[in-house]
C-alpha cells in the first residue's frame, strides 16, 4: 500500500516556546517518530502548510484540495493521510468531501497534546489512520471518502465534530457514531462509511459567507453589519428546530427577498432543523420567506457548503442560482 502524508501543522507538530506553542515539526519528523508505520505502507511525505488550524485560510484549504485532487487521480496512491490541527479539522475534512469527493480514502488526524508533552497522542492517532487506510483500501464496501481518525475511532467527515477542547477523545459523530474502531485486534468497520451526498467540484471558496447566531434578545444589527461588509450569503445559527428572534427573523425575511441566500442551522449538537413555528422568527415563517435549512449540518460546515454553492451557481451578474443552491441543501 502506498500512502502520501500531507503535513499542515497543528498541535501534533507543535512545541512550546516563550511566546506559546507553535508548529515547528514537519510531517517527515512526525512520521519518523513512529517507525511501525513502515509496516503498514510505503510512505511519501509532503509539507503543504505549517500553521495551527485556527489560522487555516481559504487559500490554504484550496491548496490542500488541489493536492488531494492530484493524488486522488494518481493510480499509484492508495490513501492520503493529512496531519492537521484539531480546531478546524472537521471543516477541512468536510470541505474535501464536498469539493473533491475522493475515490481514494483520505484520513485527517492530529493530536490534542504536543510532542513535548506527557501523553503525546500523535503516534497513536497516526497508527489509527494508517491501520484504517489498509482496511478501507482492502474492503470492497468502502468507496473512498474523507474521514477523521482519532483516539482509535474513525468518523466520516459528514458527521464528525470536535466535542471537547482538551480530552484525547475529542471527536464524535452525534447520533450516528464512528464508522470504525481500532484496537489491538485491528480495525473493525461498524457500518458502511457515508460521505456527503452533495458533490460541488470546480468551485472555489471566493464567496463571502458569514455565520451569525440567534439567542435571547438578539436583534438584526449583526446581520445588517454582515451585509454591509459585503456578504454574498449568510448562515444563521438558530435555536432549537431552526428558529430566531422576531426582530432577527423579520430582517432575514427582507434579506432573502432582496436576493441574498440565508441558510438556517441549529446550535443544538444533535437533531435536524425542522420548520414548525409560524410566528415571526419561527422556522415555518423563515421557510415561507425562502430561507434554506441545513438539516443536521452544523453552521461551520453549512458555511463551506454555501460558499462552494455560490461559487458554482452564481450567474454572470453575481446573483445566486436559487434553485440549484436550494437543491444542494435539500439533498
pLDDT (0 to 100) of residue 124? 97
The DSSP code sequence of 92-134 is HHHHHHHHT--SS-EEEE--SS-TTSTT--HHHHHHHHHHHHH
What's the pLDDT score for residue 314? 79
Distance CA 138, CA 79 (A): 11
Distances (CA, A) of 211 to 80, 207, 231, 243: 30, 13, 10, 15
**What angle (nearest 5°) sits at the alpha carbon of residue 263, between those of residues 262 and 269?**
150
Question: What are the domain boundaries of the chain?
Answer: 2-189, 209-330
pLDDT at residue 146, rounded to an integer = 96
| Residue 11 bears catalytic tag | yes
Centroid of chain to Cα 268: 17
> What pLDDT does 130 receive?
98
Query: pLDDT tens across 224-258, in order?
Result: 999 999 999 999 999 999 999 999 999 999 999 99
Q: Given this chain, do its domains 2-189 and 209-330 carry the same CATH topology?
A: yes
User: Positive or negative CA dihedral for 303, 306, 312, 317?
Assistant: negative
* 36 φ/ψ angles, rounded to the nearest 5 degrees: -65, -15
Class of residue 235 by CB neighbours under 10 A (exposed 0-12, middle 13-18, buried 19+): buried
Buried b (16+ CB within 10 A) or exposed e, 22-53: ebbbbbeebbeebeebeebbebebeebbbbbb
Q: Write down the pLDDT at residue 160.
A: 97
User: Catalytic pick from 11, 79, 161, 273?
Assistant: 11
Q: Phi and psi of 228, rounded to 5°?
A: -65, -30
The per-residue pLDDT for 293 is 97
pLDDT per residue rounded down to tens, the chain (331 residues):
999 999 999 999 999 988 899 999 999 999 999 999 999 999 999 999 999 999 999 999 999 999 999 999 999 999 999 999 999 999 999 999 999 999 999 999 999 999 999 999 999 999 999 999 999 998 877 889 999 999 999 999 999 999 999 999 999 999 999 999 999 999 999 988 877 778 999 999 999 999 999 999 999 999 999 999 999 999 999 999 999 999 999 999 999 999 999 999 999 999 999 999 999 999 999 999 999 999 999 999 999 999 999 999 876 445 557 888 998 998 7
> Candidates 3.30.70.100, 1.20.140.10, 3.40.50.1170, 3.40.50.10260; correct CATH number of 2-189?
3.40.50.1170
The full DSSP string for 241-265 is: TTB--HHHHHHHHHHHHTT--EEEE
Q: What pLDDT score was predicted for residue 89?
A: 98
* Domain 209-330 is found in CATH 3.40.50.40: yes
Q: What is the DSSP pairing of strand 42-51 with strand 2-9?
A: parallel
**How many of the other CB atoms lie within 10 Å of CB of 202?**
8
Say how far apart CA 85 and CA 60 lie, in whole Å: 13
Enter the DSSP assignment of 271. Answer: S
**pTM of this prediction?**
0.95
Amino acid at each position: 500500500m502506498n500512502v502520501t502524508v500531507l503535513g499542515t501543522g497543528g498541535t501534533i507538530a507543535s512545541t512550546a516556546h516563550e511566546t506559546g506553542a507553535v508548529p515547528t515539526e514537519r510531517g517527515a519528523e512526525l512520521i519518523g517518530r513512529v517507525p511501525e508505520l513502515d509496516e503498514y505502507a510505503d510512505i511519501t511525505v509532503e509539507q503543504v502548510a505549517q500553521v495551527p488550524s485556527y489560522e487555516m485560510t481559504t487559500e490554504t484549504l484550496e491548496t490542500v484540495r488541489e493536492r488531494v485532487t492530484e493524488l486522488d487521480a494518481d493510480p499509484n496512491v492508495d490513501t492520503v493521510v493529512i496531519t492537521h490541527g484539531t480546531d478546524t479539522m472537521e471543516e477541512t475534512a468536510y470541505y474535501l468531501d464536498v469539493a473533491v469527493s475522493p475515490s481514494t480514502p483520505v484520513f485527517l488526524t492530529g493530536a490534542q497534546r504536543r510532542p513535548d508533552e506527557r501523553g503525546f497522542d500523535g503516534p497513536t492517532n497516526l497508527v489509527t489512520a494508517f491501520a484504517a487506510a489498509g482496511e478501507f483500501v482492502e474492503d470492497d464496501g468502502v468507496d473512498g471518502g474523507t474521514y477523521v481518525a482519532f483516539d482509535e475511532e474513525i468518523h466520516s467527515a459528514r458527521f464528525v465534530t470536535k466535542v471537547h477542547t482538551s480530552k484525547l477523545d475529542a471527536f464524535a459523530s452525534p447520533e450516528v457514531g464512528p464508522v470504525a474502531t481500532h484496537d489491538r485486534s485491528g480495525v473493525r468497520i461498524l457500518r458502511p462509511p457515508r460521505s456527503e451526498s452533495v458533490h460541488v467540484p470546480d468551485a472555489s471558496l471566493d464567496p463571502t459567507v458569514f455565520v451569525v447566531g440567534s439567542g435571547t434578545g438578539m436583534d438584526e444589527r449583526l446581520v445588517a453589519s454582515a451585509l454591509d461588509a459585503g456578504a454574498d450569503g449568510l448562515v444563521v445559527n438558530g435555536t432549537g428546530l431552526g428558529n430566531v428572534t422576531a426582530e432577527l427573523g423579520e430582517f432575514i425575511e427582507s434579506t432573502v427577498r432582496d436576493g441574498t441566500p440565508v441558510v438556517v442551522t441549529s446550535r443544538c449538537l444533535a437533531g435536524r432543523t425542522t420548520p414548525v413555528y409560524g410566528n415571526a422568527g419561527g422556522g415555518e415563517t423563515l421557510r415561507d420567506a425562502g430561507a434554506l435549512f441545513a438539516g443536521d449540518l452544523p453552521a461551520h460546515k453549512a458555511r463551506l457548503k454555501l460558499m462552494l454553492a455560490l461559487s458554482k451557481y452564481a450567474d454572470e451578474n453575481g446573483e445566486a442560482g436559487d434553485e440549484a443552491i436550494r437543491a444542494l441543501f435539500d439533498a
